[in-house]
Structure 1
Amino acid sequence: MKLATAALLLACMPFVASAEDAPSDAPVPWGEFAGWRVLMDPSVGNACYVAHIYNAGVFIRLGRFRNETGSGIYLSFNNPKWKSLEDEKEYPVSVQFGNHELWDAKASALVKDNDVTRALTISTGDESFLEEFKTSDTTKLFYEGKEIANLSLDGAPKAVSEMNACQKKTDEVLNKLKSKAEDIDPFAKDPSVKASDDPFKL
C-alpha cells in the first residue's frame, strides 16, 4: 500500500463567474477544457487546480497547494449525500486510480451548512499521485473497505496540462510583481519633491 498524508482543509467553493467579480481570496478561472474547470486558488498559495462536476452536487477537485510548511498535491471528493461527515474529523480512506495500487490516506472532512459541501480531502507530496490521476480512466474512493465513489477521469490529461500552464503563468506574473516591488527605491531622488526638510534629498 502507498500512503497519502492527511490534508489541508479546503473550501470546495462554487466556481466564480469572473476574476473581476471574485473576492481577492476566491478562485480565479483559467478556463474549461475537456469538461474540466481550471482555476487558480489564492487561499492555497496561489496554486492552480482542476475540478469536474458530475451530477447532484458530486464533484472532485485536484490541485497543488503551497504553505509555510511545504507544498504538495491534494484531491477532494464532494458528495452532498455524505451528511454524516463531521467537520474537521479525519477518516481513514483509500484512493485508487484505474488499476493502480491503492493509496491509503487519512482524509480531512469539510462540512458547511449549505447542504452542498460534504467533502473529504487528502494530500501527498508524491508526484506519482498526480501522474496516476492524469493517466487513468477512473478514480475510486473506499471507506472501511466499501467503495463510496467511482468517477470517470475522462479528459484529465488535458485538464492537468492546462493546470500546469495555469501554474506557470501564475508564477511568472507573481515573480514579475515581486521583482518590481524589490526594484522600488524609497530613497531615490524624485524631482517633483523639493521639500527643504527632506533629510534624504540629494
Structure 2
Amino acid sequence: MRVVRPLVLGALAISSAFCGPREATAWPMLSVDKTMGKVSGWSIGVSRSMGGCLAAATYQDETTVWMGFDGEKDEAFLAFTNPKWRSIEAERIYQLVMLTGRGRWKGQFLGLAHGDHKGLIASGLKKGFVVDIARAGGIEVVFEQKRIAKLSLSGSSDAIGAMIDCQKAIVEAKAESPSPKGKTIPDGGSTPRRNGTSSGTGFFVSDAGHVLTNNHVISGCAEIDVAKFGLPSLRARLVATDVQNDLAVLSTGFDHPMVPALSLKPRVGESVYAYGFPLPDLLAASGNFTVGNITAAAGLGDDTRMLQISTPVQPGNSGGPLIDQYGAVVGVIASKLNAMTVAKVNNDIPQNVNFAIKSTIALNFLDSNGIVTPTGTKNATPMDPASVAEQAKMYTVHVTCR
C-alpha cells in the first residue's frame, strides 16, 4: 500500500487579502489559454494562470480528468470535474481515495464550483505522483466509501510525455527567442541542469570500461560521474569528443564490464529498444526500457548519420543504446523533435519522432580514438523484450555532469 501524506494546498490557499469571488481562486488553474493539440484522446494546453501545461480528457460519464504542471513551483496538480456533482462545495476540503491496480492513494482535495462546473483539485503534488497515476492504466475515485468515478485513463502515459515536452518548450521560450520550424533539441536528451547538475545515459564499449555517450551530455562538465545499476558511482575521465557527430567517450574504473555487440545493418521497420535514465527525479532510478521501431534510415534533412525511431525517449535518455531484437546496439540515442515547436506551426503534436546516431558513426569515432571494441557477435535468434532489457541493464550506465 502506498499512502500519500495530506497534500499541502498552498497554491489554492485562500488569502485574507483576496477581495473577489472566493470560488475564483482555484478555478483559473483549470482554464486552457492555448491548445497545443491532442495526444491519444487527451487535449494538451497551456494555462497562463498556473504558468504551465496541462492535459485533460472527458469520459462518457462526463467526468473530466485534469493533470498538469505548475511552472513557477515545479509542482503538479490533479483534478476531477463533473457537472453532475451538484453537492460539492467550493473550498471545502474532501478526503479522497484513489484505487488502481498498483496500489491505493489517499489525500486531500479542494472543492471547486464555478457556474455549472463542479470539481475537486489537489495541488502541490510531486510530479512523480502524477506520473504514477497516469501510468496506472485505470483509476477508481472513492469518497466516503462510495465510488464517484471509474476511469480507464487510456492514453494518459502519452499525455504525460506531451505535457513534459510542452513544459520544456515553455522553459525554452522564456530563455530564448522562438525557435525555427523543425528545430531539434539535444534532449532526447540530457536532463536540464538543476543546482549545477544534469544527467544522461551511456553504455560500455570496451573491456577496459570505456563508456560511449553524447557530447552534449558531458559538454561543460567540471566533473563527470558514472553509475552502474546496483554499484556506487565512479568518477570518469573524458577521453575524446566529436562535436559534429555529438559523441563522447569516457574512461571509467569499471573493469571487464559486459559490452554489447554493435550491429552495422539496421533495417527500417525492425523493432528497437531504448534503455536509459530519463527524468531521474520523476521516473525509476533503476532505468527505463521503451519499445519502438526504426521508422526511417535518415534523420532531419535526410541526414544519413542518423536513424529516425518511434521508440519513446525523454530528457536523460541521450547517450543511451538503441538495441535491436538480437541484443545488438544499432545506434546511440541523440535527440527528439521539438514537438511543441512543430505544434505551433502545424497545430498538431508529432508523436515519437526521435533520432539516434548510427552505430557505424559511433564505431568510426571509437576506432579513430584507439578504443578497441570487442568483436562479439549478436544472438543468432531474436530475443523477447524482457531478455533484451535484462541484458541492457548490465551494460547501460547513468552519467551525471557537474
Structure 1 and Structure 2 fold alike (TM over 0.5): yes
Q: Is the 8 A contact 1:30 1:40 kept in 2?
A: yes
Unaligned runs of 5+ in 1: 15-25, 178-202
AA matched with 1:102: R
How many residue pairs match? The answer is: 160
Aligned to 1:39: 45
AA matched with 1:75: L
Q: Is the 8 A contact 1:29 1:40 kept in 2?
A: yes
Q: Closer, same or farther in 2 for the Cα pair 1:12/1:171, shift >3 Å? A: closer
Q: Is the 8 A contact 2:57 2:66 kept in 1?
A: yes
Residue 39 (structure 1) shift: 0.5
Cα displacement string for residues 34-68 of structure 1 (whole angstroms, at most 9, x for unaligned residues): 10000111101x2111100113532110011145x
Q: Closer, same or farther in 2 for the Cα pair 1:141/1:124, shift >3 Å? A: farther
2:97 counterpart of 1:94: yes
The residue matched to 2:70 in structure 1 has which SS? Answer: strand
Identity of aligned residues (%): 24
Aligned to 1:83: 86
Aligned to 2:60: 55
Distance between the aligned counterparts of 2:5 and 2:102, measured in 1? 13
The residue matched to 1:91 in structure 2 has which SS? Answer: strand
Distance between the aligned counterparts of 1:154 and 1:13, measured in 2? 20
Aligned to 1:183: none
Structure 1 length as normaliser, TM-score?
A: 0.72
Distance between the aligned counterparts of 1:85 and 1:65, measured in 2? 24
Distance between the aligned counterparts of 1:4 and 1:50, measured in 2? 24
Distance between the aligned counterparts of 2:67 and 2:8, measured in 1? 15
Aligned to 1:166: 166
Q: Cα RMSD over matched residues? A: 2.0
Q: Closer, same or farther in 2 for the Cα pair 1:150/1:123, shift >3 Å? A: same
Cα displacement string for residues 150-175 of structure 1 (whole angstroms, at most 9, x for unaligned residues): 11111111111111111111110012
Unaligned runs of 5+ in 2: 13-25, 178-402
Q: Closer, same or farther in 2 for the Cα pair 1:89/1:38, shift >3 Å? A: same
Q: Is the 8 A contact 1:4 1:122 kept in 2?
A: no
The residue matched to 2:27 in structure 1 has which SS? Answer: coil
The residue matched to 1:102 in structure 2 has which SS? Answer: strand
The residue matched to 2:83 in structure 1 has which SS? Answer: coil
AA matched with 1:73: A
Q: Is the 8 A contact 1:10 1:121 kept in 2?
A: no
Residue 84 (structure 1) shift: 0.9
Structure 2 length as normaliser, TM-score?
A: 0.37
Q: Closer, same or farther in 2 for the Cα pair 1:80/1:130, shift >3 Å? A: same
AA matched with 1:132: D
Residue 27 (structure 1) shift: 1.9
Distance between the aligned counterparts of 1:27 and 1:140, measured in 2? 29
Distance between the aligned counterparts of 1:40 and 1:95, measured in 2? 26
Which protein has greater RCO, CA pairs closer than 8 Å, 6+ apart? Answer: 1
The residue matched to 1:163 in structure 2 has which SS? Answer: helix
Q: Is the 8 A contact 1:139 1:150 kept in 2?
A: yes
Q: Closer, same or farther in 2 for the Cα pair 1:47/1:4, shift >3 Å? A: farther
Distance between the aligned counterparts of 2:61 and 2:146, measured in 1? 21
The residue matched to 2:129 in structure 1 has which SS? Answer: helix
Residue 112 (structure 1) shift: 1.3
Residue 124 (structure 1) shift: 4.1
Aligned to 1:107: 109
Q: Larger radius of gyration, structure 1 or 2?
A: 2
The residue matched to 2:85 in structure 1 has which SS? Answer: coil
Residue 142 (structure 1) shift: 1.0
The residue matched to 2:139 in structure 1 has which SS? Answer: strand
Residue 79 (structure 1) shift: 1.2
Q: Closer, same or farther in 2 for the Cα pair 1:123/1:164, shift >3 Å? A: same
The residue matched to 1:2 in structure 2 has which SS? Answer: coil
Q: Is the 8 A contact 1:93 1:104 kept in 2?
A: yes
Detail structure 1 runs of 4+ shifted over 4 Å in the superposition. none
Residue 128 (structure 1) shift: 2.9
